[in-house]
Chains A and B, each alone.
Chain A
Amino acid sequence: MDYAAIVVLEILYMIAFLALISAGLAIVFGMMRVINLAHGEFVMLGGYATIAAAKAGINIYFAMLVISPIVVGAIGLVVERLIVRFLYGRMIDIMLATWGLSLLLIGLVDLIFGNTAVSVPAPIPGYRIGHYQMGGYNLFVIAVAVLLMSGMWFALRYTRVGLVARGAMQGREVVSALGYNPNTIYMLTFTVGAALSGLAGGVMAPLTGLLPSSGGAYIAKAFITVITGGAAVIAGTLSAAALFGTVDQLVSFASTPVFGEIAMLALALVLLRLMPQGITGQFFRNST
C-alpha cells in the first residue's frame, strides 16, 4: 500500500516536472512555431539565478518565483531582439541559431561560474510514508505546476491577453486584425516563454545540482513533451506530460531510471511517427 502511494506520488511528480519545464517552450512553439533549442539553457540560467540570489541572502521562494523569471525573461527579450526576430518563418534557421545560442550560453556560464556543480538545499524537509523517506519539496513542485497550468489556462481562455495570444496562434493576420502589431506580440511571447523557463529552472534548482551543461538534461524531455503534445498549448503539454511521466516512472520502478528515460524517448519516436501533428492534432482538437 505504501509502495503504491509512493509510485503514484513519483508519477505525479514526474508529470509536474515535465509540464513545468515544457511550459515556456510550449508557449513559444505553440504561438510562434519557433523551436528554441536554447530552452534547456534558459532553464539552467533560471537555476543559476535562484542559487546566486539565495547565496546572496535573499529568501529562496522570492528568488525562484520572482527573480529567476525576471532575469531569464530579460535575457529572452535581448535574444529575441538580437537574433530570433530576424529569422521568423525560417524554422530550421531558428533551430540552428538557437542551438548556437545554447552553446554560447553554456560557454558564458562556464566562464562566469566555472565548471563545478553548485547547489542549494531544498527548503522543505522530507516526510515518511511507512518505511519510505520522501522528499517534501516534490509536493511543492507539483503544487507550482498545478497553479501554473491552471493560471495559463485561465489567462488564455478568459482574458484579453489570452485572446490576443490565441489570435497569434492562428497567424500574424489575426493579430493585426485584432489591432496589435504582431512583432510586438511575438517579442512579448518570447519574453514570457523565457520567463516561464526561468521559473522552471528556479523551482527545480534545489532538487538538482547545477552545471553549465545542465540544460542538456531538460531540452530533450521538454522537446518531446511539446512536440508530441501538438498545437494546443495546455491540453497538449498536459496530455504528453501525463503519458511520458507515467511511462518513465513505471519503467524506472521496474528497472532503472536510465531505462525509464530511454522508454520515454522511444515512445516519443513512435508517437511522432504515428501522429506527426501531435496528440492534440489527433484528439482534443478544440482545446486550448
Chain B
Amino acid sequence: MTGSGFGIGRIRWNWFAALAVLLAALPLVSETNTPTLLAIWALFALSLALMWGYAGILSFGHAAYFGLGAYTYAIASFNIGESTVPFVLALIVPAIVAAIIGAMMFYGRISDVYLGVMTLVVTLILNRFMNATAGDAYRIGNARLGGFNGIPAFPTLNVPGEPSMEIYGTFYYYVVIVCLIAAYLIARWILASAFGRTLIGIRENELRMELLGYNVPAYKTAIFAVSGAMAGLAGCLFANWAEIVTPSVFSLGQTAEVLIWVIVGGLGTLIGPMIAAVALGSLKLELGHQTTVDNSLILGAILILVVLLIPRGFAPTFVAWRRRFAQSQVHRRQARGTRRRHVALQEAKQ
C-alpha cells in the first residue's frame, strides 16, 4: 500500500446527490430486475472492499457470509412468516459466525496465506454440507434445506408489520438501493471514525499498532463481523430477488467473483469495487446470452491482467493518473510564468 491509499477524504456530497437522484430516476427509463441484481452485487463488493481495502484482511471465502445471509432469511421466513425478524436475523447470524471464525483466526495470529486457506475451507464446508442436505431428515422448523435443489418459494420481503403487502418489482428496487446507500454511508462513517483510522493503521503496520497498545485481533475481528453482516445483507437481498436459495451461493465461483470485482475496482476505495461489480456483473449477464465464450474465461483473463499490470486496481490508478495530469498542468503553468517573467526582465534591461 502506498501513502496515497489512505483515500478517506470527505464524501463529495454533490456527486453523491447526483448519483442518488440518478438511481432514483432509473425505473422511469429502464426495467428494474437487472439493476436490482447489480445493486445487490455492488453491496456484496462493498462488504469485501471495506474489509480488504482498509483493514488489509483478504478473505478467500466471503461467499460464506453471503450464503449464510441468504439461507438464514429463507429458513427464518419459512418459520416466522412475517419478514422483519428474518431480515434482521440475516444480518446477525452471518455477523456472529464471522465474529467466531474471525476471533479464531486473528487471536491465533494466523498469517495472510493461511487466513486465505482457512476462509476458503469454511466456504467449502458450508457448500458441501448444504449440497448434502436433501431429504426430510434435514429440516429446520418448517424449512427443508433441500440439498442441491435448495429452498424455493419462501415468503419474500413484506412491508414491516404487514405480511400481506409483499415488496417486489420497482418497490423492491428502491429497497435495495436504500440498503446499498445506507451500507455505503455506514462504511464511510466507520472509516472516518477512530475505529476506522485504527484499522488503516493496522493495514499499514500491524506491529506498530500492536506496540502502540491497540488490541489488533479485537479490531480485526470486529471489522470481519461488520463485513460479514454486510455480505449477509447482500445475500438476504439476493435470496429475495431470486426467490430461491441454492448451495451455489457458497460456491467457489461466487467467492472468486466478488474478489475480482474488488481487486479490479481497486483496493482502498469503496466506489471502485462497486462500479466494478456493476460493470463486470453486466458483462456476465451479457455473456449469459451466448454460449461460445464462457464467463469464467473472461473473468480469469481479467483477474490475471489486473494483478500483473495494475495490481492496485482501476480506481486508485485512475486517481494517480489524474493527479499526475493535474501536476503536469501546474508545472506547465509555472514554466510558462517563469518564461514570461524572464522575457519581461530581458525587455526591461533593454
Contacts and interface: CB of A to CB of B under 8 A. Distances in A.
B124 A220 contact: yes
A95 interface: yes
A103 B303 contact: yes
A103 B299 CA distance: 7
B132 interface: yes
Interface string B108-125: 111111101110111011
Contact of B125 (A102, A223, A265): A265
A223 B105 contact: no
Nearest to B104: A273
A258 B131 contact: yes
A108 interface: yes
25 contacts: A35-B116, A87-B307, A87-B308, A93-B307, A95-B60, A99-B256, A99-B300, A100-B260, A102-B300, A103-B297, A104-B300, A106-B300, A110-B294, A227-B117, A262-B128, A265-B121, A265-B128, A269-B118, A272-B114, A273-B104, A273-B110, A276-B108, A276-B110, A276-B111, A276-B114
Most buried by B among A99, A105, A107: A99
Given A273-B108, A276-B108, A106 B294 contact: yes
A273 B105 contact: yes
A224 B128 contact: no
A interface: dominant SS:
helix
A266 interface: yes
Interface of B: 58, 60, 104-105, 108-114, 116-118, 120-122, 124-125, 128-129, 131-132, 252, 256, 259-260, 263, 292-304, 307-308, 311
A96 interface: yes
Interface residues of A, number: 39
A175 to B, nearest CB: 22
A48 B68 CA distance: 35
B302 A100 contact: yes
B31 to A, nearest CB: 29
Given A104-B297, A276-B111, A92 B116 contact: yes
A209 interface: no
Contacts of B295: 107
Contacts of A93: 307, 311
A107 B302 CA distance: 13
B294 A92 contact: no
A261 B128 contact: yes
